[in-house]
Amino acid sequence: MTLSGKTAVVTGGSRGIGRAVVRRLVAAGARVVFTYAHREPAEVPPGTVAVRADQADLASLEMIFEQVADGFDILVNNVGVGPRIPIAELTADQIDRVFTINLRFPLLAIKAAVPLLRDGGRIINISTLNTVLGAPGLSLYCSSKAALEQVTVVASKELGPRAITVNTVSPGATDTDMLRAHNEADGLAQGVAMTALRRLGTPDDIAAVVAFLVSADGGWITGQNIRATGGLIL
């Protein structure tokens, strides 16, 4: 697979799954613009441009797409937050923040991308297995990501005539800072025991799925939710 001559935008590309996606796309020959929210990344790989953009602030969209004003080929909406808050303790501000980051921003990013994406382009929305395997305290995470999955379906219909594919990738238990911040050791061990391949996923596992979907070989797949879980739910 080669992405030589392609330009990609990846949100949240400084760590975790996003960083693995950036590295994989660069290795395939793409130029990559990626965002980070607060701490400037210690490493900016050759062939990439880092843009500070807090996804809680919709005004930062403009700064991202200025970098690809002459057109681009791949959009990966990777950023997501999943605070554990029981429904009984939710506030309106918490609801607004999570839905802005997980749904409004990526939806508006797709809108901004439409006139800039070249025909035959690719859009990937990163969701979560938790939309079908809910857990206490994750009502905001699950519902906002589930809504993003429906955006994928509709966008695939709207952009299909231009040969632009739109897909969701839903990781299972993937070894990231976010996973470890929200799970104790017992919870991680339980996730491994429930997974057919008997291990946690890695960011590289998810990046490999993204890389396939944005390649020429993935051109006949659109409107789908690829659950990259190692068999966590079957």
CA angle 175, 18, 219 (to 5 degrees): 110
Integer Cα distance of 46 and 57 in angstroms: 28
Q: Which stretches of 69-174 are DSSP H helices?
A: 92-99, 105-113, 139-159
**Helices 139-159 and 92-99, interaxial angle, to 10°?**
30
Q: Starting at the edge strand that comes first in sequence, how are the strands of the sheet with 225-228 ordered?
A: 48-52, 31-36, 7-10, 72-77, 117-126, 165-171, 225-228
Catalytic, out of 36, 65, 105, 141: 141
The continuous run of DSSP H or E covering 63 comes out as helix 61-66
Asked if 36 is an active-site residue, the reply is no
**Helices 203-214 and 16-27, interaxial angle, to 10°?**
50
Integer Cα distance of 51 and 164 in angstroms: 25
The continuous run of DSSP H or E covering 211 comes out as helix 203-214
Name the nearest CA neighbour of 150 among 107, 91, 214, 209: 107
The continuous run of DSSP H or E covering 120 comes out as strand 117-126
Active site residues: 141
